[in-house]
Amino acid sequence: MTYQVLARKWRPRDFQSLIGQDHVVRALTHALQHQRLHHAYLFTGTRGVGKTTIARILAKALNCVGPDGQGGITATPCNACRVCSAIDAGRFVDYIEMDAASNRGVDEMTQLLERAIYAPVDARVKVYTIDEVHMLTTHAFNAMLKTLEEPPDFVKFILATTDPQKIPVTVLSRCLQFNLKQVTPQAIAQRLGQIAQAEQVEAEPAALQAVARAARGSMRDALSLLDQAIAYSGGRVDAQAVDQMLGAIDSTLLVQLLDALLERDAARLLALADAMAERSLSFAQALRDLASLLHRITRRMPMSGAWRSGSRPTRCSCTTRSRCMGATTWAWRRTNTRDSR
């Protein structure tokens, strides 16, 4: 059997397995339960947060017939009937996914709309998903307006975009809009842990946390990075291998950088930068890691007592105690740093 990348293999097949989008799931579940369904939805959010996934689950929810073939619209599609399986496999005639990035023009849109008025072949509801919809031309958007306002009862439109600002207000106002959130690093790391376990891959929690942070809110990016990390480490995914793979700098180097900054030691800073260049570490990534480290330190400062009066480190000569580097680094040293990589 050919290898299927983790992101595709682990695409959630029902609303319960989606992570981080509870607000959308709740609204759609209620709408499905009470059969109060809008005819056009717009899902917005950055790459890899679940737009296409939700569109497919919604298409299944609208068309699932249940294992016995008798079921109706449901918030919990069975994933077993012929409709669910066909939609999952991408071969259901009445579920149409179109990529607006490669079908931008008015001709493609007109063709799609002409076909939309015909009754579904095999479904209750024909679902059109238009991905990256902001890429459509103005003419194509205009061609859509009428149908988007009053489509036949058996048609639903799902528009998805990473860039809602580029969508004309005339289109926005005809859709029910849901903003998908970036997934938090904690939620991503937890999910990666479950997937690694199911895949029987041994993975250090710190390694998964590093992957989760590097994915910057995108579950797809996280899974692609995990794939890469498994290949890179050839089995056990450990933190060091992941850091190397990501070109991330390890926390000891970050501390050395902070120390040199604290000492205002430019020569040492430059030497550290040279050492980083030698190891082909990414400076941009280093700056991001440093920002994230400082953020984590500042969050811990109140707990470590650095805010209390009289606790200012002696070496620090500035007056803005709460923000200064000295206090921050001092807090960093006093903080248990084991898990704050």
Ligand X SMILES: Nc1ncnc2c1ncn2[C@@H]1O[C@H](COP(=O)(O)OP(=O)(O)O)[C@@H](O)[C@H]1O
CB 182 within 8 Å of CB 217: yes
Looking at the Cβ atoms of 50 and 77, the one nearer to ligand X is 50
Q: Which listed range, 40-48, 164-172, 267-275, 299-307, lies at the site for ligand X (CB under 6 A)?
A: 40-48
Of the candidates 26, 30, 38, 47, which one interacts with ligand X according to CB under 6 A? 47
CB 195 within 8 Å of CB 65: no
Looking at the Cβ atoms of 8 and 323, the one nearer to ligand X is 8
Give least dist CB 329 to Mg ion, A.
43
Q: Which listed range, 13-21, 31-39, 99-107, 266-274, lies at the site for ligand X (CB under 6 A)?
A: 13-21
Q: Does 20 bind ligand X (CB under 6 A)?
A: yes
Per-residue b or e along 123-148, where b marks 16 or more CB atoms closer than 10 Å to that residue's CB: bbbbbbbbbbbbbbeeebbebbeebb
SS3 155: strand
Taking the mean position of all CA atoms in its chain, how far away is CA 65? 31
Position of minimal CB gap to Mg ion? 52
Looking at the Cβ atoms of 8 and 338, the one nearer to ligand X is 8
Residues 53-112, interacting with ligand X (CB under 6 A):
53
Containing H/E element for 291? helix 283-304
Q: Does 12 bind ligand X (CB under 6 A)?
A: yes
Give least dist CB 124 to Zn ion, A.
12
| Residue span 180-219 as binding mask against ligand X, x where in contact by CB under 6 A, dash where not | ---x-----------------------------------x
Q: Does 158 bind ligand X (CB under 6 A)?
A: no
Residue with tokens 């002696």: 314
Q: Which listed range, 10-18, 62-70, 104-112, 299-307, lies at the site for ligand X (CB under 6 A)?
A: 10-18
Of the candidates 28, 41, 50, 171, which one interacts with ligand X according to CB under 6 A? 50
Residue 40 tokens read as: 């056009």
Q: Binding residues for Zn ion, how many (CB under 5 A)?
A: 5
Of the candidates 19, 61, 62, 64, which one interacts with Zn ion according to CB under 5 A? 64
| Residue span 71-90 as binding mask against Zn ion, x where in contact by CB under 5 A, dash where not | ------xx--x--x------
Say which entry of ligand X, Mg ion, Zn ion, none residue 56 contacts (CB below 5 to 8 A, set by partner kind).
none
Contacts 24+ apart (CB under 8 A), 224-227: 224/5, 224/6, 224/7, 226/6, 226/192, 226/195, 226/196, 227/5, 227/6, 227/7
Give the CA count within 13 Å in the CB-facing half-sphere of 24: 27
Containing H/E element for 282? none
Say which entry of Zn ion, Mg ion, ligand X, none residue 281 contacts (CB below 5 to 8 A, set by partner kind).
none
Of the candidates 29, 46, 52, 256, which one interacts with Mg ion according to CB under 5 A? 52
Say which entry of Zn ion, Mg ion, ligand X, none residue 81 contacts (CB below 5 to 8 A, set by partner kind).
Zn ion
Give the separation between CA 124 and CA 64, rounded to whole angstroms. Answer: 9
CA 127 → CA 89, 103, 117, 120, 247, distances in Å?
Answer: 15, 17, 12, 9, 43
DSSP string, 14-72: SGGG--S-HHHHHHHHHHHHTT---SEEEEE-STTSSHHHHHHHHHHHHH---TTS---
Give the separation between CA 176 and CA 172, rounded to whole angstroms. Answer: 8
Residues of this chain that interact with Zn ion (CB under 5 A) are 64, 77-78, 81, 84
Residues of this chain that interact with Mg ion (CB under 5 A) are 51-52
Residues of this chain that interact with ligand X (CB under 6 A) are 7-8, 10-12, 18-21, 45, 47-53, 183, 219-220, 223
